[in-house]
Amino acid sequence: MPGPGRYRGLRAFGKPKDTKKTVRRLASYLKADTGKLAIVFVCVIVSAVSALAGSYMLRPVINGIADGRGSIAFLTRSVAVMGLIYLSGIAAQYLQARIMVSVGQRVLQTLRDELFLKTQRLSVRYFDSHYNGDIMSRFTNDVDTLGEMLNSTLVQIISGAISIVGTFSLMLYTNFWLAMVTFVMLPLMLKAARGVAKKSRSYYREQQRALGELNGYIEEIVTGQKVVKVFCHEDIAMEEFERHNGELKSKQLGAQFFGNIMGPVMGNLSQINYTLTAVVGGILCILRGFDIGGLTVFVNYSRQFSRPINELSMQMNIIFSALAGAERVFAVMDEEEEADDAPLALSVREQDGRNVWEVPEGNVKYAFKKENPDFHAEIVLQDVSFGYVPGKTILKHITLYAKPGQKIAFVGSTGAGKTTVTNLINRFYDIDSGSITIDGVDIMDIKRDALRRNVAMVLQDTHLFAGTVMDNIRYGRLDASDEEVIHAAKMASAHSFIMRLEHGYDTVLEEDGANLSQGQRQLLNIARAAISKAPILILDEATSSVDTRTEKQIERGMDRLMAERTTLVIAHRLSTVRNANAIMVLENGEIIERGDHEALLAQKGRYYELYTGLSELE
């Protein structure tokens, strides 16, 4: 793969993000549902108040029974009132749950939409330097943890906060001195929760990172399973997997330990608080005449007071995991996108069956194109230098031209810069110095979409999508008719094998065309390029992985495809470039020889040595 290679680990994410900033950013996604959240807030209040009020109803009932004033009618009325109160709380909980599920799923849908849209706007450089599996984990693991938090955790936090405030207020109202006992214990409980949460936060961030790396490795090995088996590297793959899995395990141990220990710690502290409250309350009943009903209610509130704190602490693992996932999602969203098109950038449109330049009003620099608007596909590289990473130049002062309809071939050792040239013409990467022009127009002044619509590519690595054969060919131009698809297949020499398939053009392809041979997949790629009608064609070692018989079939398809198109060909097999108008021999990022086949043989230089077998491509 061209480019600087894949970066590993934290280098892809940089420094950990600010948690407060992440929370604020998540909150911005909830603004569209302010009205629904207001209803949820009311429901949470009703639910919390009903629980508190229902508990307080026990005080007069118990006191009435203790004083001998209770009756069946009194008990019946009290139980009926308590039932209504609790039923209102249940109804509020049901309504808040339904609304929050709706809100949470809308936010997740928006996040996935924005994340996917962002990936479409990222440069090829980003995908060359990041694991596909790690990018996928942002859509799955990280977004799922956010969903869990939005669906339930947020409501529980709000409910818990209201319950804490309401419970403590009623405790003060019931008995001030007993409330002070709980008040003394509160700082200790909060300090313990804060200490455990601080430890837990860092472990959950590392857990999400390790999970992304593991997913990336799994995706890489599953995709390259044939290569693994061919070279008998199953044991090595397993060792590497165990290393990634072990790292994830160690991070999960820390995260889960501190996440799970929160409950027992807070539970024991609340039990201590409950015991102290019961002891002091009993003394007050004996010495100060505190009523039994009040003590019963207060002890119940004491348990209720610690319960929301305990629940909040138990939610910390979900919260920290979700925030860590959100940081990773936002890290992708904050990546630098492909540069915007230049102001007044030129476009290309079809007119009367031919492509013409479209110059915006006010563009003085290319006003001459209005006089001669035809798109001729003349390519010129002038003193071009480029490197994938700063300080490491791949192409060094490359100058070449391809006149309309010409076939220009590139040969040279692996890493010489052949594929890099084609990447620059498509603006997958932008050059460091020099210029690349098409018909005298700098490609930096052409709308990126217009440029790429007029450059068709057939790569060595074929990629077919899930769908029918016809759908895959039509991917080159989505508005193409069935007849145009069939014509493109015939041009690419693919029609005959397609008709031999069980359902012809309606045959559904397996994953990446696994039910086709390598040559058949390549023929479909050529057909896809043919249907695009792009006047510039790039063939990047399109026949390097097929047998000689299939290569001849592919070459016939490519010859039809190259007719009247400006074509750039990269090939390892020199026999495929003999008829090129010009052949560029690249080594170490420089053109060391140029000319047609006969002229280069006459020079008896590097090309002559390669063609005659005196030396081989490295």
Task: Between 440 and 177, name the one with better pLDDT.
Answer: 440
Residue 226: pLDDT band by 50, 70, 90 thresholds?
Answer: low
Q: Which of 327, 110, 293, 309 is nearest to 204 (CA)?
A: 327
Give me the numbers of helices (H) and strands (E) for the chain, helices first please: 22, 14
Q: Look at residue 284 in the predicted model and tell me its pLDDT.
A: 76
Asked if 82 contacts 57 with a C-beta cutoff of 8 angstroms, the reply is yes
pLDDT digits (tens, 9 = 90+) for 533-572: 889 988 887 665 556 666 676 677 677 777 778 989 887 7
Taking CA atoms, 380 is separated from 12, 399, 443, in Å, by: 36, 8, 10
Q: Measured in whole angstroms, how far is the alpha carbon of residue 569 from the centre of its chain?
A: 33
Amino acid in position 316: M
User: 529 pLDDT exceeds 70?
Assistant: yes
What would the CATH number be for the domain defined by 465-533?
3.40.50.300
Cα separation, 291 vs 348, whole angstroms? 88
Using only C-alpha atoms, what is the Rg of the chain?
35
pLDDT digits (tens, 9 = 90+) for 310-325: 666 667 667 877 888 8
Comparing 4-13, 174-183, 565-574, which segment has the lowest mean pLDDT? 4-13
Q: Look at residue 378 in the predicted model and tell me its pLDDT.
A: 93
Asked if 534 contacts 453 with a C-beta cutoff of 8 angstroms, the reply is yes
Cα separation, 294 vs 59, whole angstroms? 6
Cα separation, 557 vs 519, whole angstroms? 12
pLDDT digits (tens, 9 = 90+) for 270-302: 777 777 777 777 777 777 767 777 777 777 777
Long-range contacts of 614-618 (CB under 8 A, 24+ apart): 617/411, 617/412, 617/413, 617/414, 617/572, 618/413, 618/414
The 3 state secondary structure assigned to 269-286 is: HHHHHHHHHHHHHHHHHH
Q: Look at residue 546 in the predicted model and tell me its pLDDT.
A: 58
Cα separation, 331 vs 489, whole angstroms? 42
pLDDT digits (tens, 9 = 90+) for 432-458: 999 999 999 999 999 998 998 899 888
The per-residue pLDDT of the chain, averaged, comes to 81
Q: Look at residue 152 in the predicted model and tell me its pLDDT.
A: 74
Percent of the chain with pLDDT over 90: 17
pLDDT digits (tens, 9 = 90+) for 84-136: 888 988 898 889 888 888 888 898 899 989 999 888 888 888 888 777 777 88
Q: Look at residue 357 in the predicted model and tell me its pLDDT.
A: 93
Core vs surface per residue 273-292: b (16+ CB within 10 A) or e: bbebbbebbeebeeeeebbe
- In CATH, which of 3.40.50.970, 1.20.1560.10, 1.10.3720.10, 3.50.50.60 is domain 18-333? 1.20.1560.10
Q: Mind giving me the DSSP string for 507-544?
A: PEE-GGGTTS-HHHHHHHHHHHHHHTT-SEEEEESTTT
| CB atoms closer than 10 angstroms to residue 358 | 16
Asked if 141 contacts 207 with a C-beta cutoff of 8 angstroms, the reply is no
Asked if 531 contacts 555 with a C-beta cutoff of 8 angstroms, the reply is no
Dihedral in degrees, nearest 10, Cα atoms 155, 161, 163, 165: -160
Residue 274 is encoded by which pair of tokens? 């409950």
Q: What are phi and psi of 364, to 5 degrees?
A: -75, -35
Q: Look at residue 576 in the predicted model and tell me its pLDDT.
A: 74
Which DSSP category does 233 fall into? Answer: -
Whole-model pTM: value is 0.69
pLDDT digits (tens, 9 = 90+) for 358-385: 999 989 999 888 888 999 999 999 999 9
> Domain map of the chain by residue range?
18-333, 465-533
Q: Look at residue 486 in the predicted model and tell me its pLDDT.
A: 93
Task: Between 526 and 71, name the one with better pLDDT.
Answer: 526
Q: Look at residue 71 in the predicted model and tell me its pLDDT.
A: 66
Comparing 32-46, 280-294, 601-615, which segment has the lowest mean pLDDT? 280-294
